Structure 1
């Protein structure tokens, strides 16, 4: 028998004709009505607060007027027994209940509609049946079912008002992560994979192996009614710092004993690896990997969630809401502060009513699984209401002050010479300049900055720097420095520029370009100064994930006043072409030819060229094409055959690298719609 009906283990105290033959869990019907289709092919998955249907089939005809039926649900050592009513009695919103409609009563079978309380624990339950007549009693173990949160039900704390929101934040298994810098935003696809086989089981296992469950099972089960509690437990379990969590983090050094964070493209592979290794941590993750895995887990369990990127995100180590940065008088950035600013940081927002707080704090909540600082002794962060961050409610649970600093700390920039501070400026706008998430129903970003930051004062700068155009690999980097003299006397100035490479979450490395000049500016004059960095000065230093940090220090030769301006940006790489014969909509279990290519536009020969193609749910293994030398204007190509094993949105990825660059030079993807 398949998962829709199964034989039943039972024990009759006194033999009679009331023998249960099997139970039909009506899986297809229940999964359709409970919005859980695709989450599991092996067990019944339903949502709390809604009735689900089970059909009991007997060997002999039953006279229902002479028998009473009770159901019992068991969760750990807790159980609740309740009668099955053969009336139109309404379900109780506070207790387990069951009823049979007249049309569902037959001589050999009966269909029972079982309803859980809206505040039921998220867990796997055992279902038992007790049948009693005047003289006989039968007890049966019917099987198990999984109960999830119900964002479709208005009385559930995770209820969302609009169907389009539910489709995006619960049902969609495809998303985008925004990376790079606030001036050159790049998008990376991510397959959340909640409908892949085994993902639901991995999410349930996370709850079972959590420290909370291991130390006190019954209390943990009782607290799982609360989405705030669930978010804190799961946030901590996505990283492995305190427990048997999913991912180990690593931000520098070699990744040879695992997988580089930039190579992951979906959550399912990570969760499968964690399950198959007996809950050993998967190596390695960084912020977007932690966040995307948590987003998958929350969506599976019924908590609406989305991945959010904060550009110029501060890590305020000493909790004073300020970040100090140190520069030399020539614009070279020093690594002297325990505080840091990441070019981007990715966390999760989840949606819920905060019954533990006032109504104004309902809605989106920040949950950050990247292990940075401890919260109540554990490496987790949140859930913290976004509205509390905007209103600067520093004591709002959980971790409001740390999250506020991430998006709105002040930056104090100090210019140091010979151990002395010779210049100082404060920037109140740099941190949290841009906050993005994927828009509903499209691949365009939604700007969330205004939901976190209420104040928008314009910058007051004497020196500013901008790019004349977004640079592409092989092009010159063209910069424009604007110097404004707000005084009534002329100034004699020295301008120093310095360019360094950095990773998104670290301070810059050694510089690769610098220049300086002297100039004169008249009272109230505005000077525009142009600079160019040739491609030959940077191209073999860069990968797609590297960032260029450029700083300019302008010094008044008479007053010794120094003013600093900075910019950070990515250099765009040329795209990989991905074409599927027959288009981007394919059928399951059919082979389709795919052509992938990359053309060398760099103007130099590239040695050790590698074109890699992979796609979870489309290819069994990665496909690699190698060329010893890739000449200028020449293309490296791959033809692969893809076949989808399940419906939904799949992602086919292409990456290009070469031996003269330390990492991936170019990364592209193609969305593919799979149907039955």
Structure 2
């Protein structure tokens, strides 16, 4: 009789992918499983039947030079802290054995080799080789990334689309983004990111051992998303010159970026800004099994000298001046990852801030975090990693200084501006969730995000709330919209019992979200006389033709400076705001959407601009459309409307995002729209 040998090992892909909630990775044709949970393989034998009294099986699992040898037993009782394998007697027979393999919840993440060997009584050996990819497991209570709610696991691990929030607190922009973690090539690119990291190149075995720890993994990924110290994914660019690459505002998802990086031999992709860095990191962390969400911090401080104070300087005529290394970004985007912090204590478990945008070095490289959100709220600036830096981003004070002929002629202090709104996408719904209270103690009732905030300033010798001096406020009539005038008012109150004569300077400057403003593009000057205790309102407007040059992602700094002509005291009110772009309307024609069937959608656009526009319409949808569908839009007159029909074919059940973007030909503006598509099981 022919001796016993292994004919074939089946990895039971369909069964295992479903059991491990990794079926989205089925296009990789690889076994993708999660640590801390068993997966099953079947072994087809040939020759004589398997005899459990004389024959035995052994499995060798290896990650680089690390390996584990384990006997295949008939007992399911094995310590969860060790690799184990057992034969399922209820489904096995003498020619086919079903084996359950389980990796501890503390196993390193990576691509493993597996060798299964059968030994007979006379020491003959037959072996078969295979491979599998092991990820973190937020469904396993023993895993350090365990998150206890199913809706959060669906949102922060499985969802392949989301919203990023930009603009200003008074005029939020919801930016659709496709995380693309299930798109072909993305899983491989994320694993390659770990392999080309400096930590892996320096000491592969040590790197593999450390990959059991989500704190370690997250710091490696944070550094590898930017390319400042390594062969990272993205090159940052805030210069407005993107001729050598792609403007950050043109990206619609992470997949194109990660695949371009991998296909180029790991050359950095040009270009990214904070929301692109964060969104790509969110993709990588979700692929690796670590719950992750994108977070926006509005009025985010960059405190370069660690004094928790940001100085802002204005001229006598209201022009903002670039005199400080400190800065306030109108918004800044990072990620939070959910994990236990055994290095800091269980009181610091939960959401951790990680920031891949290269701002400051941490441990010698451009990365940031993981900084526990709980540590930021309680000001535990003694803890790892980068808690003081993130604390300043959400809590620094702002000192506003007015300069005249090199002298300080006005001063005010604001303790509320920085970190005025911190938000993320809500679980299960395409809307904002305000998480400011997770980072800081909120003083007084929280204002709604749609309210028109204005900066109030008193004279240089009194603080806010004083009963003397001049009070000035600046407020917009409504959120500014492209193609419409910007209308605003400056309200001035004489709070003293003497008549005042005031010079009024109003000034508008364009600015990028992370820079000081450029030169003035609009201004207005007047002289005003106020009787004792009189209040007056000055109404102004900036016409569309005067701010047409303000491209997407550019904001406007509007400031009013008043000078008391007798005392020469100055009073300042300022506001920074963005221009809301029009939206594309994306509609799905059918109510019942099922996988593997063509369905129809319509994208429509009405031109709000006072001039004709043309451009290229791009429609994408992870799990809905393979690649991109593009259409060239002919010239559309002002007020004109266009509709474009689109066909999509879902690959699997679930909630997916169908998004469209219109890139205008004559200016750096991208108009967007999206709809969520609910795909039913057949």
- TM norm structure 2: 0.91
> Aligned residue for 2:9?
23
Deviation of 1:235 after TM superposition, in Å, equals: 0.7
Structure 1 pair 200–601 and aligned structure 2 pair: CA distance change class (3 A): closer
> Aligned residue for 1:204?
191
The answer to whether 1:655 aligns with 2:662 is yes
Structure 1 stretch displaced more, 286-295 or 57-66: 57-66
> Aligned residue for 1:351?
338
> Aligned residue for 2:51?
63
Q: In the alignment, is the contact (CA less than 8 A) between 2:293 and 2:424 conserved in 1?
A: yes
The within-5 A match list for 1:20-419 is 20-41=6-27, 42-60=29-47, 61-87=49-75, 89-419=76-406
> Aligned residue for 2:575?
567
> Aligned residue for 2:673?
668
1:521-542 Cα deviation digits (max 9, x unpaired): 566x473524221424534223
The answer to whether 1:440 aligns with 2:430 is no
Q: In the alignment, is the contact (CA less than 8 A) between 2:5 and 2:118 conserved in 1?
A: no
**Aligned-partner Cα distance in 1 for 2:502–2:114:** 81
1:386-432 Cα deviation digits (max 9, x unpaired): 11111112221111111111111111111111122211111111111
> How many residue pairs get matched?
654
1:541-582 Cα deviation digits (max 9, x unpaired): 233422121111122333322222211112223332334444
**Aligned-partner Cα distance in 2 for 1:265–1:349:** 21
The answer to whether 1:478 aligns with 2:487 is yes
> Aligned residue for 1:469?
478
- Matched position secondary structure for 1:64: coil
**Aligned-partner Cα distance in 1 for 2:45–2:534:** 90
Deviation of 1:194 after TM superposition, in Å, equals: 1.1
Structure 1 stretch displaced more, 649-658 or 434-443: 649-658
Q: In the alignment, is the contact (CA less than 8 A) between 1:39 and 1:195 conserved in 2?
A: yes
Structure 1 pair 589–285 and aligned structure 2 pair: CA distance change class (3 A): same
Deviation of 1:208 after TM superposition, in Å, equals: 0.8
Deviation of 1:519 after TM superposition, in Å, equals: 3.4
> Aligned residue for 1:546?
554
Structure 1 pair 620–53 and aligned structure 2 pair: CA distance change class (3 A): closer
**Aligned-partner Cα distance in 2 for 1:578–1:163:** 29
- Matched position secondary structure for 1:278: coil
Deviation of 1:488 after TM superposition, in Å, equals: 5.7
Structure 1 segments unaligned to the other structure (5+ residues): 1-14
Q: In the alignment, is the contact (CA less than 8 A) between 1:176 and 1:187 conserved in 2?
A: yes
Structure 1 pair 30–273 and aligned structure 2 pair: CA distance change class (3 A): same
Q: In the alignment, is the contact (CA less than 8 A) between 1:653 and 1:670 conserved in 2?
A: no
Deviation of 1:38 after TM superposition, in Å, equals: 1.4
> Aligned residue for 2:605?
598
**Aligned-partner Cα distance in 2 for 1:553–1:445:** 35
1:467-514 Cα deviation digits (max 9, x unpaired): 222222233322233445555655443332111112212221222222
Q: In the alignment, is the contact (CA less than 8 A) between 1:498 and 1:513 conserved in 2?
A: yes
- Matched position secondary structure for 1:540: coil
Q: In the alignment, is the contact (CA less than 8 A) between 1:410 and 1:428 conserved in 2?
A: yes
Structure 1 pair 97–577 and aligned structure 2 pair: CA distance change class (3 A): closer
- Matched position secondary structure for 2:24: coil
1:292-339 Cα deviation digits (max 9, x unpaired): 110011011110000000111111122222111111111111112111
Q: 2:507 aligns with which of 498, 505, 524?
A: 498
> Aligned residue for 1:9?
none
1:424-470 Cα deviation digits (max 9, x unpaired): 11111111111110000101101011111125279836433222222
**Aligned-partner Cα distance in 2 for 1:141–1:531:** 80
Q: In the alignment, is the contact (CA less than 8 A) between 1:157 and 1:353 conserved in 2?
A: yes
Structure 1 stretch displaced more, 156-165 or 542-551: 542-551
**Aligned-partner Cα distance in 1 for 2:619–2:585:** 14
Deviation of 1:520 after TM superposition, in Å, equals: 4.4
**Aligned-partner Cα distance in 2 for 1:582–1:285:** 37
Q: In the alignment, is the contact (CA less than 8 A) between 2:397 and 2:418 conserved in 1?
A: yes
The within-5 A match list for 1:8-19 is 17-19=3-5
**Aligned-partner Cα distance in 1 for 2:249–2:148:** 35
> Aligned residue for 2:521?
512
Structure 1 stretch displaced more, 391-400 or 289-298: 391-400
Q: In the alignment, is the contact (CA less than 8 A) between 2:164 and 2:275 conserved in 1?
A: yes
**Aligned-partner Cα distance in 2 for 1:579–1:161:** 35
**Aligned-partner Cα distance in 2 for 1:674–1:542:** 39
**Aligned-partner Cα distance in 1 for 2:659–2:362:** 38
Q: In the alignment, is the contact (CA less than 8 A) between 2:6 and 2:128 conserved in 1?
A: no
1:356-403 Cα deviation digits (max 9, x unpaired): 002221110000001111111111100100111111122211111111
Structure 1 stretch displaced more, 408-417 or 89-98: 89-98
Deviation of 1:169 after TM superposition, in Å, equals: 0.5
**Aligned-partner Cα distance in 2 for 1:589–1:530:** 61
Structure 1 pair 498–539 and aligned structure 2 pair: CA distance change class (3 A): closer
- TM norm structure 1: 0.92
**Aligned-partner Cα distance in 1 for 2:590–2:39:** 41
- Matched position secondary structure for 1:200: helix
> Aligned residue for 1:8?
none
1:8-45 Cα deviation digits (max 9, x unpaired): xxxxxxx9621111111122111111111112441111
- Matched position secondary structure for 1:212: helix
**Aligned-partner Cα distance in 2 for 1:232–1:573:** 36
Structure 1 stretch displaced more, 250-259 or 647-656: 647-656
